Amino acid sequence: MKLQSNVAPLAPGAAQDRQPAGARRDAFGRDASGPLAGIVIADFSRVLAGPYCTMLLADMGATVIKVESPSGDETRAWKPPVFEGQSTYYLSINRNKRSIALDFGDAGDIETARTIAASADVVIENFKPGGLDRFGLDYTSIVEHNPGVVYASITGFGSAGGAALPGYDLLVQAMSGLMSLTGDPEFPGYRSGVAVFDVITGLHAAVGVLSALHERSQSGRGQRVEVNLMSSALSGMVNQTAGFLLSGNVPTRMGNEHPSIYPYEPLPTADGEIVLAIGNDRQFRTLCEVVSAPELANDPRFATPPDRSVNRAVLRPILQDLLATRTATEWFDIFTEARLPCAPINDVRGGIDFARRLGLEPVVKVGTGEESIPGVRNPISFSATPASYDLVPPGIDADRGDILEWLHPAP
């Protein structure tokens, strides 16, 4: 796939002169069905948290102008894996955007960047705190020319004591405590298999931007939105952080076990493992009946969730012996019929195939014609204003001419 310009001839306009909501077009005149059609986002972010946020908003119809350095977003070089020579990492989070490369060492390019920001409804950036000040692209400078702007800043550790710390997901997984919770208790902690806090922070940023846009629709005022990976991590660890704050409990690694409920882990069968997630007494009684051991439900050692959790070392080998009589596939069918929470342990291919079997249609076609590529469906469904997947991820600076024409339309 050759990445190239996405845009048709542009209609002039800016954040203060948007199409009415009923027009269902983006700021460049392209048909847009999503609920954010007409909203312009100046995207000064790179790598994952910011681009993931702006891709979700672009799927919903927003016009996203991706401002890159001349060398491009770092993820363009993060290979393997690749799709037709392009980084699949970059392709996974940059559809439905338009690219312009600007050199912040060039006065003319800086002025173009300021004009883009002044013409946008939303500015999203993930520079180190204060990193954009000297270019006149900080919130204080932009709001002077664009008082209605929603300006979202994404950092690693906030703009106070952690301002100088580099904002990498792996560092936050270590510092927040997540790695102390992940992996086998007999071995050092592991990072998550995906940059989970980048993704959570991107979601938090999207929620913040949409909330600020809603408030602006009522008051006419823009505002600054700030999110950081560390705060998102502490919020995203939910019960584990609350368990410490409310009881003083410092959680530790438990492998695939849950600290509060049991059975809630993979268990071996005749030919592999199956995951059980038994969260209440009714489910446990059903499990006992299905595995032909109804007496377990009346055993005082297993009568309540706390009992089962405390006595898991006793209950586990009993369940393992019972599950050894059938295969994982057979148990999955039996448990599913009994409406018990269970799951096979799939690889990513298996996960996508399973979603297809459920009718979730997880894979969408991004772009049109020969330039189209497969992508993962936006997880949010709208009954009246569905997401769209019209534009493949852009090449570096692919849309410079059209963006400049939009900023400075011919008379």
Residues 122-178: pLDDT tens digits?
999 999 999 999 999 999 999 999 999 999 999 999 999 999 999 999 999 999 999
pLDDT at 13 over 60: no
For residues 277 and 342, the answer to whether their CB atoms sit within 8 Å is: yes
Q: Indicate the pLDDT class of residue 224, thresholds 50, 70 and 90.
A: very high
The predicted pLDDT at position 252 comes to 95
Structural fold of domain 264-357: formyl-coa transferase, domain 3 (3.30.1540)
**More confident position, 258 or 22:** 258
Q: Indicate the pLDDT class of residue 21, thresholds 50, 70 and 90.
A: very low
Distance from C-alpha of 392 to C-alpha of 97, rounded to nearest angstrom: 8
Residue partners of 144: CB distance under 8 A and separation at least 6: none
Q: Indicate the pLDDT class of residue 183, thresholds 50, 70 and 90.
A: very high
The predicted pLDDT at position 5 comes to 46
The predicted pLDDT at position 356 comes to 97
pLDDT at 1 over 80: no
The predicted pLDDT at position 115 comes to 97
Amino acid code (one letter) for 296: L
The predicted pLDDT at position 19 comes to 46
Q: Which residues make beta-bridge pairs with 265?
A: 276
pLDDT at 2 over 80: no
* Mean pLDDT of the 199-227 span: 97
Residues 153-168: pLDDT tens digits?
999 999 999 999 999 9
Distance from C-alpha of 25 to C-alpha of 119, rounded to nearest angstrom: 17
For residues 235 and 227, the answer to whether their CB atoms sit within 8 Å is: no
Q: In the chain, which segments carry CATH 3.30.1540.10?
A: 264-357
Nearest 5 degrees, angle CA 71-CA 72-CA 77? 90
pLDDT at 4 over 70: no
In the chain, the percentage of residues whose pLDDT exceeds 70 is 94
Kindly report the backbone phi and psi dihedral angles of residue 122, in degrees, each rounded to the nearest multiple of 5, phi listed first.
-135, 135
* Mean pLDDT of the 250-274 span: 95
State the residue for tokens 């592991």. Answer: 190
For residues 198 and 168, the answer to whether their CB atoms sit within 8 Å is: no
Average pLDDT taken over every residue of the chain: 93
- Residues carrying an active site annotation: 198
The predicted pLDDT at position 23 comes to 52
- Domain 15-236+361-407, CATH class in plain words: alpha beta
**More confident position, 343 or 409:** 343
Residues 286-318: pLDDT tens digits?
999 999 999 999 999 999 999 999 999 999 999
Going from the C-alpha of 385 to that of each of 22, 95, 388, the distances in angstroms are 11, 18, 9
Q: Indicate the pLDDT class of residue 7, thresholds 50, 70 and 90.
A: very low
Q: Which two tokens stand for residue 216?
A: 């602006």
pLDDT at 24 over 90: no
H-only helix segments in 268-399: 281-290, 305-310, 312-323, 328-337, 348-357
* Mean pLDDT of the 392-406 span: 95
Q: What is the pTM of this model?
A: 0.92
